[in-house]
Amino acid sequence: MALPKYTEPHYRIWHYTYLFICGCVFFFLIAPLFVIFPLSFNAEEFLVITDGMKRLDPDAFSLRWYKDMVYGTKNPWGLAAKNSFFIAIFATIGAVILGTVAALGLSSRYMPYKGIIMATLISPMIVPLIISGVAIFFFMAKAGLAATHTGIILAHIILGTPFVVITVTATLSGFDHSVTRAAASLGSNPVNTFMKITLPLILPGVISGALFAFVTSFDEVVIVLFLAGLDNTTIPIQMWTGLREQLSPTILSVATCLILLSTLVLVAAELLRRRSERIRGINR
Amino acid sequence: MSSETQQILTTDGIPLEVSLKKVERRNKFKAFLLVAPLLFFLLIVYISPIFGMLFNSIDDRMVTNALPKTYIAMEKWDGQDLPSEEVFEAFYIDFKKLMEEERDGKLSTQLNYEKNGFKSIIKKLRRKSKSFEEGNYKEQIMSVHERWGNVEYWRAIQRRAPAYSYSKYLKGVDMYENEDGKFVQVEEDRRIYKKLWVRTLKIAFYVTLFCFLMAYPIAHLLATLPMKYSNLLMICVLLPFWTSLLVRTASWMILLQQQGVVNDFLVWIGFVADNKRLEMMYNETGTYIAMTQILLPFMVLPLYSVMKTISPSLVRAGKSLGGTPFITFWKVYFPLTIPGIGAGSLLVFILAIGYYITPELVGGASGTLISNQIAYHMKYTLDWSFASAMGLMLLVGVLAVYWIYNKLVGIDNIKLG
């Protein structure tokens, strides 16, 4: 963004002000995440940057909160992590299967009432979580599924499907349907065609939808707050309780791990996006 | 079809038109069959419970069913003076049955929503009624507590007679239906919900505005920088987007607390005195700051995807025609970004208006929104029908915004990542 030499001074000033404003906004976006790192290595029990840490005194840093997270006797993080992964994995599988199949139907040009059906399928994303929470709670309580893993998984499938539907329909928008017709004309049955031809081509969209569904489930608090019993506690629920009651540095250790996890997800999502753009580019 | 044109037949001898229609129908059915599992799943597990909330919010059969004899006896009562002995006797019989089934607690909660003070007098009645003698129930009940002799309380019971009522919706806007059937506002000092609706709208509006003001310059920068720099900066937008909401809220709690990093910094540069540290958390300020940062990516991404499609030669053409950079921006570039502004603003507004987690953790008493009140009634007062009523009122608002969004941008154009 180098300015040409002939730029007048007041535009020059304006340009640097603009860059400065942008810098501030980027700082505002990303900096809060980085306060968590140093504090999670705090040797003290307080959530403030101690004088020792400012002097970079090695004694002021320790791994005690990480040890506490893993080995702590009263700590529920082990169970919470197990539940979180269990629920998120099954919710993702459910959402991906239902969402992908629905997206295939939606992208067909024969699909009747496309608008209203799309609006219905996307609705869990638009309706505020608190309302979805209340409605799903009423249903699960009546169905006897409150405080069960099944109930929470079903609820998270609801929340995850819109993402899969959106990403897969987007991938299918550049899909060349003559390849499936070619496969059919060569004698392949529809299931075989889907597995061998369609799925590999739309895979980036499916996986990125799965990532969204996984993260949505893994990060979801509101509905689990209504549905969970003591055995169904998840990482977000534990964090929520911790943040409301007493902020302990153990939470920050967990938060650091979660930030690392989201970095992985971000990298995966970026790679997939580029791949899917490339595939769509070829087809166009 | 006119008789002169010959009907085209397929090899099977069926008219082509019929045959094509048949194929079309079959294709339609096939497409629908693919959507059906998800559609029916959502209809059963999600959409129907939302409509169920509509029923819950007006369902008032609990009280009606609890006091069947009382309401029959009350039909003859004019509501002016205290009801007759008949009503008191019927009420005693109903209440005795409730005590045997241990349902009197629920009744007292329900009646207490209608008029404060029911809880204690029902508890008293429960204790004293065990030693009641037969006959003259009016006097015996009235001797339990003076409020049982107050006609206002009997009118409150009478008001709960219908099996369905919209009173919860009136309560949601601080109103009630008085004895003459007119809608009136509750007393000045007990109006809380109207204030909460206004605050929710205000916070959602300002958060959207702040997000717009901050997102516009950086989306522009991201769209105009060469790829290798913009990809790096994009991480600053995408990493918070993918990070857990609770982690981001936690980091704001650490930053904004009185001994937190922001206050430390302000004291260090001498902006505030050490003993006068700013209170930025557990109030509205906290909600504004945290929600703006958390929702900012949802504004940046749609803006970026629109700005990316604007050809830089348009701006160059504007300049070559003699426009100053400001004029070219305002007359050429800005109008082209309006679809992105609309998409981002509506998305942020819809998300902000129903926000729950962040306000609950950093908002304190003055920074909470309508969702927090819904959760409160779901979890603590257990007034589920009121929670349903408020939830539906919020939902109608959100759907209205969603409808505008769909008209302006189209739901098919939602972009993710």
Segment A31-47 shows an average pLDDT of: 81
pLDDT at A155: 96
Whether the CB-CB separation of A91 and B361 falls below 8 Å is answered with no
Segment A49-77 shows an average pLDDT of: 73
pLDDT at A174: 76
Q: Is A214 on the interface with B (CB under 8 A)?
A: no
Number of domains in chain B: 3
Does B182 map to a domain? no
CA-CA distance, A26 to A32, in Å (whole number)?
Answer: 11
Q: Is A204 on the interface with B (CB under 8 A)?
A: no
pLDDT at B235: 87
Does B368 lie in the same domain as B306?
A: yes
CA-CA distance, B8 to A180, in Å (whole number)?
Answer: 29
Nearest Cα neighbor of B304 from B229, B237, B384 is B237
Contact B27/A35, CB-based, under 8 Å? no
- Which of B221, B236, B361 lies nearest to residue A29, judging by beta carbons? B236
B12-43 core/surface letters (b: 16 or more CB in 10 A; e: else): eeeeeeebeeeeeeeeeeebbebbeebbebbe
Interface of A with B in 131-150 (CB under 8 A): 131-139
Segment A269-274 shows an average pLDDT of: 81
Contact B296/A29, CB-based, under 8 Å? yes
- Which of B47, B264, B354 lies nearest to residue A128, judging by beta carbons? B354
Contact A158/B388, CB-based, under 8 Å? no
Residue of B nearest to A214 (CA): B242
- pLDDT tens digits for B32-76? 999 999 999 999 999 999 999 988 888 877 788 888 888 888 888
Q: pLDDT band for position B412 (50/70/90)?
A: low
The CATH fold assigned to A81-283 is MetI-like fold (1.10.3720)
Does B291 lie in the same domain as B375?
A: yes
- Which of A104, A121, A138 lies nearest to residue B42, judging by beta carbons? A121
pTM over the 0.95 mark: no
pLDDT at A59: 73
Q: Is A7 on the interface with B (CB under 8 A)?
A: no
Does B67 lie in the same domain as B44?
A: no
Q: For position B279, which CATH number holds?
A: 1.10.3720.10
First to last CA, chain A: 32
Does B1 map to a domain? no
Q: pLDDT band for position A284 (50/70/90)?
A: very low
Stated as kind and residue range, the H or E segment containing B185 is: strand B183-185
Does B227 lie in the same domain as B79?
A: no
**Average pLDDT taken over every residue of chain A:** 86
CA-CA distance, B70 to B76, in Å (whole number)?
Answer: 11
Does B117 lie in the same domain as B239?
A: no
Looking at the complex, report in whole angstroms how far the Cα of residue A67 sits from the nearest Cα belonging to chain B.
19
- pLDDT tens digits for B212-244? 999 999 999 999 888 888 888 888 888 998 899
Q: pLDDT band for position B179 (50/70/90)?
A: low
Segment B309-328 shows an average pLDDT of: 87
A243 CB neighbours in chain B (<8 A) are 246, 249-250, 253, 361
Segment A32-46 shows an average pLDDT of: 81
A167 CB neighbours in chain B (<8 A) are 416
Looking at the complex, report in whole angstroms how far the Cα of residue B168 sits from the nearest Cα belonging to chain A.
16
Residue A276 in this model has a pLDDT that exceeds 80: no
Does B177 map to a domain? no
Does B187 map to a domain? no
Q: Computed over its alpha carbons, how large is the radius of gyration of chain B?
A: 32
- Which of B24, B48, B242 lies nearest to residue A110, judging by beta carbons? B24
How is chain A split into domains, by residue range? 81-283
The residues, ordered by sequence, that sit 6+ positions from A122 with a Cβ below 8 Å of its Cβ are A162, A165, A166, B411, B414
Segment A178-206 shows an average pLDDT of: 89
Residue of A nearest to B30 (CA): A105
Does B321 lie in the same domain as B360?
A: yes
pLDDT at B108: 84
pLDDT at A283: 45
pLDDT at B260: 82
**Average pLDDT taken over every residue of chain B:** 85
A138 CB neighbours in chain B (<8 A) are 49, 52-53, 56, 384
Q: pLDDT band for position B119 (50/70/90)?
A: confident
- Which of B237, B254, B414 lies nearest to residue A35, judging by beta carbons? B254
Does B168 map to a domain? no
Selected residue with higher pLDDT from B325 and A222: A222
Does B289 lie in the same domain as B204?
A: yes
Does B291 lie in the same domain as B401?
A: yes
Of the residues B247, B347, B380, the best mutation for testing chain A's interface (the one with the most A CB atoms within 10 Å of its CB) is B247
| A/B interface, count of CB pairs below 8 Å | 270
Of the residues A33, A40, A130, A272, the best mutation for testing chain B's interface (the one with the most B CB atoms within 10 Å of its CB) is A130
Whether the CB-CB separation of A161 and A99 falls below 8 Å is answered with yes
Q: Is A120 on the interface with B (CB under 8 A)?
A: yes
Stated as kind and residue range, the H or E segment containing B184 is: strand B183-185
Does B150 lie in the same domain as B38?
A: no
Does B16 lie in the same domain as B145?
A: no
Does B167 map to a domain? no
Q: What is the DSSP letter of B148?
A: G
Does B215 lie in the same domain as B123?
A: no
B320 CB neighbours in chain A (<8 A) are none
Judge residue A118's burial from the number of C-beta atoms within 10 Å of its C-beta, 0-12 exposed, 13-18 middle, 19 or more buried.
buried
Which of A82-96, A198-212, B128-142 has maximum average pLDDT? A82-96
Q: Which residues constitute the domain of residue B82?
A: 61-162
Q: What is the crossing angle of helices A77-107 and A114-126, to 10°?
A: 160
Selected residue with higher pLDDT from B128 and A89: A89
Segment A217-238 shows an average pLDDT of: 89
A29 CB neighbours in chain B (<8 A) are 236-237, 240, 293, 296-297
Locate A58 and state its tokens: 């090695």
Whether the CB-CB separation of B296 and B344 falls below 8 Å is answered with no
Does B264 map to a domain? yes
- Which of A11, A239, A263 lies nearest to residue B250, judging by beta carbons? A239
- pLDDT tens digits for A240-268? 988 888 777 888 888 899 999 989 988 88
Does B326 lie in the same domain as B248?
A: yes
A240 CB neighbours in chain B (<8 A) are 246, 357, 361
